[in-house]
Structure 1
């Protein structure tokens, strides 16, 4: 059977599962913590994300590219070199990010007034675990050992392992009174995720019978150069996604950060459908472009735009029901006001979907520099909008500024795609 037939449903399954898990953790922490403390946690996690996630994106893109073009006779050498190189990078970048945040905290640049570094530690562990798991999934897919249709089983087993660790730590901490808070349990379970991930890497390496004498150190210099450019593009996406939180924390209060984070988490739940559609079609976009079938590429892009927009409408009603259910399950009365920012952000997201998968097509066709320029337009408009609107309107102003910047970014990529390739990806252009 061709595993590509299952790319869309499998991708949707994975995104639904991880979005639901992430939202559950976010809402649980919001219910446990006061809004001011939860806002500080979100701010700390955002700062660490700005350091680690761009490198993660660069590493993942590098894995897919290098393992797809290497010759069979040099595959083991490249595979082993990548594993060692990635392990060194993830550990070093994560350690550097932790040290930077710690120094900012100790010097008073970070105005976090809670005792200890517990919140910062949890944010670091979660970011570290996410990076490791993303890189592992890219290695498994690119190495040919696990195709997309087998990934749910792998992640399901890992999730069961982490759930067992979480329950065990919670039970031990509750009985022995050793763990003083639920946050420490999250930190230890995150550490278990890291250990589990490295065990998977080790088993994968041993399965390939990789020895250190096979590691090609000369490849590392070229990889660092490639990763820098790829990380720069990914960093712009991450920066655009977190500018609003940084601006709110500086211009408003941590309570507003907490409310806004819940709104973003709800919007993220609505993205699983159209993200699954676009990720499943990305390889198809590239193959049509390189076969010089621009008419077919335009039809495929318009079809993907319509599917993504349809998924957006459906997911809106599903998430709205989930929001009402979450509000009844968790004590979120201190976070009132999350609905209006959610509606504003979702409206901006839905309007951007109508313009089509412009960013993905630019990346898949070798025009990522145009994507980088478009991202700068989005970031600048986001910063200016937040600076003007947040002091007057709070989280509603941040939502308006972010929604507008998304539309600016998408419109610029739409125009650049038309000038670079000459195709129109607007969803309902021919209707």
Structure 2
């Protein structure tokens, strides 16, 4: 009997390790492909459009992200967490009910959001140039596609198809988008690429990626889920969606506040140059994105089954892997940032080098703090994530308002970096307080002493 239990335990450890390694390697390949496609697209768009037109394009994309995330109502994160938990307990009816009701709610919310946004654009039409007016209106088509695409991606990841969940947005969309804008420029010779053409190409590429993702999900739905009668837990779902919605909104606002405030307080050219620097700095922390994608479903499953030692091990190894990749990339961005910006994007973008250096340093700290938000969100402590990120976004808005007026692009980078570090520190503290885990690359100190208390807390939460 003891031997059988030992083999079962060792087999489970090997299976989890193999699954995480496979997912991590696949996510790495997708992330590298996506980043290369996005970087190449950014380079070509910056050259083909110029700083002014490119600034209009990135402002429109920032507007889409600001609108698409709230229409998701926090449901993508909830779907990943609950699908993993429901599958452990074979609650197929609840899984189907969550997917059905979630997509219905997001569809109607996105359509309402688009209608309200179009009304606001019409009211402000006298203050917008014709190219901005057309670009912003056209970009609104992306809102429902983006929101529903996030739901589909979350469903695949919650069903442990992490790689397939990322494929449409990571490879299909950027690859097709690059092909469309590249083809237009080849056909039109030396013509300048307008924001309207770029956004139209983005809409087509996103639509194709959405259809491909829907087909992947239909083929990967388990048979028991396909034939189960839908069941609903609206009260439980609503209790979690509000803080998750606020977390998602705060996160996207933090990502786009600097771009929008630069466009408002300075110019579209400053916003375009800063956007290039920010996207380049994101390469520093792309390893953390890979880690988060790989371990999200496992966090929910291990927490639901009370396997806290294994969860701590995954959290520590993930943070260490992320910072090991981030640190050398940050050194490249800091010491050779100006050469990269000018040689790749053009001489106009050289003044974004200081912003690139500041943001790269902050991304190293971001990677070193580990998967803090996922550890809280996947274990039912999304309210703590919300509190930490509220601290960050308030600091971000205030500091951007102060620093942009003084230092332009560098000021926006400094404000964003300070707020990013601040909210990560707050979340690290909350992870330790709530679930007793050490999220950072340093690893645990007193975890073993608190093991029994943690497991008792988990068992109590699972019973409720």
TM-score (norm 1): 0.80
1:254 aligns with 2:268: yes
> C-alpha deviations, 1:65-91, integer Å up to 9, x for none?
444455799747953x56654554454
Shift of 1:398: 1.1
Report what 1:367 is aligned to: 381
Report what 1:14 is aligned to: 30
Shift of 1:217: 9.0
Q: 1:416 aligns with which of 418, 425, 430?
A: 430
The CA distance in 1 between the partners of 2:376 and 2:351, in whole Å, is 37
After the TM superposition, which of the residue ranges 410-419 and 316-325 deviates more from structure 2?
Answer: 316-325
The answer to whether the Cα contact below 8 Å between 2:162 and 2:293 also exists between their aligned partners in 1 is no
Aligned-CA RMSD value: 4.2
Report what 2:39 is aligned to: 23
Structure 1 runs not aligned, ≥5 long: none
The CA distance in 2 between the partners of 1:20 and 1:247, in whole Å, is 27
Structure 2 runs not aligned, ≥5 long: 1-14, 446-464
The CA distance in 2 between the partners of 1:343 and 1:157, in whole Å, is 28
Secondary structure at the aligned position of 2:131 is classed as coil
Q: Rate the CA distance shift 1:322–1:60 in 2: closer, same or farther, 3 A.
A: farther
The CA distance in 2 between the partners of 1:180 and 1:253, in whole Å, is 19
1:187 aligns with 2:196: no
Q: 1:98 aligns with which of 92, 98, 114?
A: 114
The CA distance in 1 between the partners of 2:121 and 2:260, in whole Å, is 16
Report what 1:355 is aligned to: 369
The CA distance in 1 between the partners of 2:145 and 2:128, in whole Å, is 23
> C-alpha deviations, 1:197-233, integer Å up to 9, x for none?
23653685599799x9998596678756654442222
The answer to whether the Cα contact below 8 Å between 1:273 and 1:315 also exists between their aligned partners in 2 is no
The answer to whether the Cα contact below 8 Å between 1:67 and 1:142 also exists between their aligned partners in 2 is yes
The answer to whether the Cα contact below 8 Å between 1:239 and 1:379 also exists between their aligned partners in 2 is yes
The answer to whether the Cα contact below 8 Å between 2:326 and 2:364 also exists between their aligned partners in 1 is yes
The CA distance in 1 between the partners of 2:240 and 2:230, in whole Å, is 16
The CA distance in 2 between the partners of 1:428 and 1:333, in whole Å, is 41
Aligned residues: 424
1:204-243 matches, within 5 Å, as 205=218, 216=230, 226-243=240-257
Higher relative contact order (CA 8 A, sep 6+): 1
The answer to whether the Cα contact below 8 Å between 2:74 and 2:242 also exists between their aligned partners in 1 is yes
Report what 1:64 is aligned to: 80
Q: Rate the CA distance shift 1:94–1:278 in 2: closer, same or farther, 3 A.
A: closer
After the TM superposition, which of the residue ranges 147-156 and 344-353 deviates more from structure 2?
Answer: 147-156
1:328 aligns with 2:343: yes
After the TM superposition, which of the residue ranges 135-144 and 315-324 deviates more from structure 2?
Answer: 315-324
The answer to whether the Cα contact below 8 Å between 2:20 and 2:295 also exists between their aligned partners in 1 is no
Report what 1:112 is aligned to: 128
The answer to whether the Cα contact below 8 Å between 1:48 and 1:97 also exists between their aligned partners in 2 is no
> C-alpha deviations, 1:302-347, integer Å up to 9, x for none?
33322211110233367688985674354x2222311110110111
Q: Rate the CA distance shift 1:117–1:264 in 2: closer, same or farther, 3 A.
A: same
The CA distance in 2 between the partners of 1:190 and 1:375, in whole Å, is 31
> C-alpha deviations, 1:140-175, integer Å up to 9, x for none?
34457xx34556777798469936983897399759
